[in-house]
Structure 1
């Protein structure tokens, strides 16, 4: 029985109803879960030596007792990651096989694999393609190759990866440097906060994610397991953490940024200008500040925000393809779309203060998805919306105040999709 939390242990000990004399075998990587008063015997299996590990990996990857010619160095990298654990060697060896190892000889496929492992597992495939294409990857080809090599799967349109493969990808990034700020991708929330708080980011960083709530949860679980004190006790009662914008000043190559429960203060001119994807959950301002660099942005996601309008005035954003400001209760107006000619997806789901959509949307020639689901105060759709030939999906379910004539006319021409 696999264990990872102490409450499961207590359940086993007190409430599970095993018959007298029953023996329970518990497997866990967290040795401090095992209380000496509750566990009679602890067995720590020995790890394989490097030679034994390489042989086991080779049997599963190549059907031989050693790596085939040209794959020894790559196999040793996998074996080093597995740290002598037989199950990991078996799972990874069976997953990767020879054709999977070829990925590491293809720079595009390797980078797509690492980006997905660090930031995009569980995200929609098509959205990921849009974002990573903006980073100059051949993403569709990369995803196809990864799936063909059993390194990635697609389930219900979302990217999935075996946790051992995902962990291995992250470990590869960790080995770029002993110092997090010298690595290409930062996904551990503690490391992200330390880099932002201490302002020691570097040009090496291309992607970073930070979620205050995840950091607090991780620290709570660490303290609960180890008994150590909180590393960041001041964060415990905060709902939003303030970060100064100059924390990003040295990250000139930052392209992927994912934030949650963060408020920025300072001048926005120092924020990296190469940003392609900005995911900012619980954005606290009423509009995106003037000077925030968006010229090269491909995807902007600001769900559960405090926005009243996305930005003031008109903007020319020639690269923006996806705009998502769903679940923003105060959003009252959409932007002028005249300067966003490449916009393909506009998602305004559950914005109850939204009354209308700017008429300029009918000028867009590439938009294929418009999601207005549960915009309960939406009164009308733009005139001539039915003339937008590229529009494939219009979701107006839950728009209870939409004027019937507009609603009916549009539904005759485009099926309102409730799937997004």
Structure 2
């Protein structure tokens, strides 16, 4: 059981083994129960050595603190080898005890949630958004309202609605990860430096939403019908995930996202066409069309893209080429 909790991490096994060697079975059981609820302080202190080793590069430290709160991020990160691993599918993973360390580092920053650099606890995030108590310290915020994970009164909807002005006092917000959360109001005061938005909750991209610096946008299982129509120029956007969005029928005007590198359209069962402007995406490396059973045509210029490395087409039985 102790080994399971440590998940094979040698350093964690060494620290726990030393502290429990020669102790009774009752002490072992007690330690296990405590470990489930509270990370072992000695382990976290030793693991933090790896984090402190990054002190010569503050950007790397900030990246790690972002990642510990959002492990679904699929950016191509080839660093922090002792803390983060990236598999062959570019999926970022992190040992649970490393996550615990990251959260502990953030938690020690302040006793007041709104003064911490990242908010990963659902209750803390909920209260900050509800009370509009955010500050310029906050760089990352995550909130999952699925299955009513936050203890709060609910209305008729199974999603929580916040006012967009709740983000007005968070000018340094870079990472936003939301699930089963909706907004109302205009987006003019929304943080302009947002670079990564996961679990995007809207049905379309509002024209007044400042996304000029956005790098990663995730809309899986969404109700969006159209994307890239009527939006502003998004020169920084590199990764878009629209997988399993069954209402999606149209993707147009790829000229607004000229630096796109990865586009996931897997199981977009209502998608019929892919706009010919996709052939102008000279940086596109990955395009997933798997399971798009209604798609009828693909532009010929798509296959002229020298950068395109992966193009899954299984399940696209009706596809034809222009």
Q: TM-score, normalised by structure 1?
A: 0.64
Q: How far, CA to CA, are the matches of 1:184 and 1:96 in structure 2?
A: 18
Q: How far, CA to CA, are the matches of 2:178 and 2:129 in structure 1?
A: 11
1:271–1:316 distance in 2 versus 1, CA, 3 Å: same
Which segment drifts farther, 310-319 or 332-341? 310-319
Aligned partner of 2:247 in structure 1 is: 330
Structure 2: where are the runs of 5+ without partners?
Answer: 3-24
Aligned partner of 1:292 in structure 2 is: 209
Q: How far, CA to CA, are the matches of 2:232 and 2:101 in structure 1?
A: 41
* Structure with greater Cα Rg: 1
Q: After the TM superposition, which segments of 4 or more aligned residues of structure 1 sit over 4 Å from their partners?
A: none
Query: Is residue 251–residue 272 contact of structure 1 (8 Å, CA) maintained in 2?
Result: yes
Aligned partner of 2:62 in structure 1 is: 111
Query: Is residue 228–residue 253 contact of structure 2 (8 Å, CA) maintained in 1?
Result: no
Aligned partner of 1:68 in structure 2 is: none
Q: How far, CA to CA, are the matches of 1:289 and 1:117 in structure 2?
A: 29
Q: Does 1:304 align with 2:206?
A: no
Query: Is residue 314–residue 336 contact of structure 1 (8 Å, CA) maintained in 2?
Result: no
Secondary structure in 2 matching 1:192: helix
Structure 1: where are the runs of 5+ without partners?
Answer: 3-22, 34-80, 130-139, 220-230, 408-420
Secondary structure in 2 matching 1:103: coil
Query: Is residue 228–residue 256 contact of structure 2 (8 Å, CA) maintained in 1?
Result: no
- Whichever structure has more helix as a proportion of its residues is 1
Q: Does 1:153 align with 2:100?
A: no
Aligned partner of 2:33 in structure 1 is: 29
Match of 1:233 among 153, 163, 173: 153
Q: Does 1:185 align with 2:118?
A: yes
Match of 2:142 among 205, 209, 212: 209
CA deviation profile, 1:213-265 (whole Å, cap 9, x unmatched): 16x24x5xxxxxxxxxxx41327x74211111000111111111111111110
CA deviation profile, 1:267-311 (whole Å, cap 9, x unmatched): 111111111111125x352x2122011111111111111111014
Aligned partner of 1:276 in structure 2 is: 195
Q: Does 1:168 align with 2:97?
A: no
1:128–1:264 distance in 2 versus 1, CA, 3 Å: farther
Query: Is residue 273–residue 294 contact of structure 1 (8 Å, CA) maintained in 2?
Result: yes
Q: Greater relative contact order: 1 or 2 (C-alpha under 8 angstroms, separation 6 or more)?
A: 2
Aligned-pair Cα RMSD in Å: 2.9
